[in-house]
Chain A
Amino acid sequence: EAQVTQNPRYLITVTGKKLTVTCSQNMNHEYMSWYRQDPGLGLRQIYYSMNVEVTDKGDVPEGYKVSRKEKRNFPLILESPSPNQTSLYFCASSLQGVVSSNQPQHFGDGTRLSIL
């Protein structure tokens, strides 16, 4: 089954304690992306990756890091989490870029992070 898998689904942690949210896709997609969703602000892109070893900042990259060492994985790293990073996070992938022939962007089920 084609899917984007995020882990963990829920996490409560404390300020300053490094954490990683993993994202893996099994569709051999080149493009992957991270979003955060906040009430009243909608979905905002954090980082994206067009292919292995190629990553770029989105709209709200501050406080986050990503890596793309393998095609299937695109982890999101919070080196020193702060309360303003409490949010619902989504990983997404698509074949080539955001729009590709007949392939929409597939989303993971989301990760709800609470930073105390």
Chain B
Amino acid sequence: AQKVTQAQTEISVVEKEDVTLDCVYETRDTTYYLFWYKQPPSGELVFLIRRNSFDEQNEISGRYSWNFQKSTSSFNFTITASQVVDSAVYFCALVAGNNRKLIWGLGTSLAVNP
């Protein structure tokens, strides 16, 4: 079975704090892809990153960074020096093997307070 778990339903931080959003996935396939999407209050889904199972190198994009660890089946997302504009729901998702669809986590709602 394939599954994505985002254990944190809601997180609230104060601006400039660092925050990590957890994502744990399950799959028996050796080839898979992991994604993060952002859904701001306006409702649209914004693609943030895609990572394939053969590339465990961590990625940094500005204040965003992602830590992919196959040993723990995790693909965590860290926002450094959070800002109010980071307030959104963040989704982690998985595509594995010959599956043709995204398996979504239930999302983590992040509130960054001034």
Residues of A within 8 A of B (CB): 33, 40-45, 48, 50, 56, 58-59, 88, 90, 92, 97-99, 104-110, 112
Our pick among A42, A58, A108 for the contact of B91 (Cβ within 8 Å) is A42
Chain B residues in 8 Å Cβ range of A112: 43
Given the contacts A33-B101, A98-B100, A110 and B43 also touching, CB distance less than 8 Å: yes
Indicate whether A58 sits within 8 Å of B35 (C-beta atoms), given known contacts A42-B91, A110-B44.
no
Cα–Cα, bound, A56→B33 (Å) = 22
Residues of B within 8 A of A104 (CB): 35, 47, 50
Contact across chains for B107 and A106 when beta carbons are under 8 A apart: no
Q: How many A-B residue pairs have CB under 8 A?
A: 52
Q: CB distance A98 to B102 under 8 Å?
A: yes
List the A residue with the shortest CB-CB distance to B99.
Answer: A98
Given contacts A42-B105, A56-B100, A107-B47, 8 further A-B contacts (CB under 8 A): A40-B106, A45-B102, A58-B101, A92-B45, A98-B99, A104-B35, A107-B46, A110-B45
In the docked arrangement, what's the CA distance between A50 and B100, Å? Answer: 9
Interface of B toward A, CB cutoff 8 Å:
33, 35, 37, 42-47, 50, 91, 95, 99-102, 104-107
Residues of A within 8 A of B102 (CB): 43, 45, 98, 105
Would B106 and A42 count as touching, CB distance under 8 A? yes
Query: Which residues from A are CB-within-8-Å of B95?
Result: 98-99
B33 to chain A: closest residue by CB = A99
Interchain CA distance A59-B23 in the complex, whole Å: 22
Question: Which residues of chain B come closer than 8 Å to A33, judged between CB atoms?
Answer: 101
10 A–B contacts, CB within 8 A, in A order: A41-B106, A42-B91, A42-B105, A45-B101, A98-B102, A99-B95, A104-B35, A104-B47, A104-B50, A110-B45
Determine the chain A residues whose CB is within 8 A of the CB of B106 once the complex forms: 40-42
CA distance A87 to B37 in the complex (A): 19
A106–B42 alpha-carbon span in the complex (Å):
16
A89 to B111, CA, bound (A): 24
Chain A residues lying within 8 Å of B42, measured Cβ to Cβ, are: 109
Which 7 residue pairs of A and B lie closest in terms of their CB atoms, listed nearest first? A107-B45, A104-B47, A42-B106, A109-B44, A43-B104, A42-B104, A110-B43
A26 vs chain B, min Cβ distance (A):
17
